[in-house]
Amino acid sequence: MDTALIGLAALGLVAGALTTIAGLGGGMLLVTTLVALRGPHVALAVTTPALFASNAHRAFLFRKVLDWRTAGTFALGAIPAAALVGYFVPALPGWALAAILVFATLLTLARSAGIVQLRPARAAIATAGAGIGALAATAGGAGALTGPLFLSAGLTGSRYVGTVALAAVALHAGRLMGYGGGGMLHADLAPAMIVLFAGLVVGNLVGRRLRDRVDARLERRVEVGALVVCTVLAVVGIGS
């Protein structure tokens, strides 16, 4: 197998394990790394199908505890917004996409550090879903902002992780519609998409086994550490 594909599979494994343990961070890690290596358009095109499928797999792993109502309400706003904005992403210059990604990673890091409080009311889930969907279409990892939204709905533990994954399925479905309509998905990217998905699935399974062994304090450190790395990679991406 090509060295680049092996590296992509390893990156997928780390991202899948990270998201399954902490509930978020893996998608942003993937996108920011690939932005730095291959540019924002290729990064979004390669990661979106893989993240769609891997989140479906993660939601299946936690299927017994999913909050379908919360995820469904989120999807009402997220799918159309991600599809609409995603349609115009191919026309945006690379520097603009990278700048949006920097903004998204810094916002998520500020939220994790407690500098910015993002606790929308449960009644605002569909509206917040639309905003997150629009941002995720241009920044990929903005889906990490679903975390505080679902925490505000009272979700915790495995129910939280599984429902965030289910919501991410809807989010990435909207992005796929937009990117496909805009002509950004190409057949020559299929090998990278498949290898990345395989790595993510293995990471999901590894993270599922490790989750019960990770205490809340370590989980928090993993989440913040991943976001710091993502911020650095996003800055590298915009500067390249």
**Model confidence pLDDT, tens digit, residues 130-188:** 988 988 888 766 656 777 678 777 787 788 888 988 998 999 999 999 999 999 998 89
CB 50 within 8 A of CB 193: yes
Q: Which residues of 72-110 are buried (b: 16+ CB within 10 A; e: fewer)?
A: ebbbebbbbbbbbbbbebbebebeebbbbbbebbbbbbe
**The pLDDT of residue 175:** 93
Tell me which residue of 237, 235, 239 sits closest to 106, measured CA to CA.
Answer: 235
Assign 237 a pLDDT band (cuts: 50, 70, 90).
low
- Integer Cα distance of 199 and 18 in angstroms: 12
**The pLDDT of residue 80:** 96
CB 165 within 8 A of CB 62: yes
- Residue 222 CB contacts under 8 Å (≥ 6 apart), including other chains: 18, 21, 22, 25, 214
Assign 60 a pLDDT band (cuts: 50, 70, 90).
very high
Give the mean pLDDT of the chain. Answer: 80
- Integer Cα distance of 123 and 131 in angstroms: 14
Assign 109 a pLDDT band (cuts: 50, 70, 90).
low
Regarding predicted confidence, which is higher, 17 or 109? 17
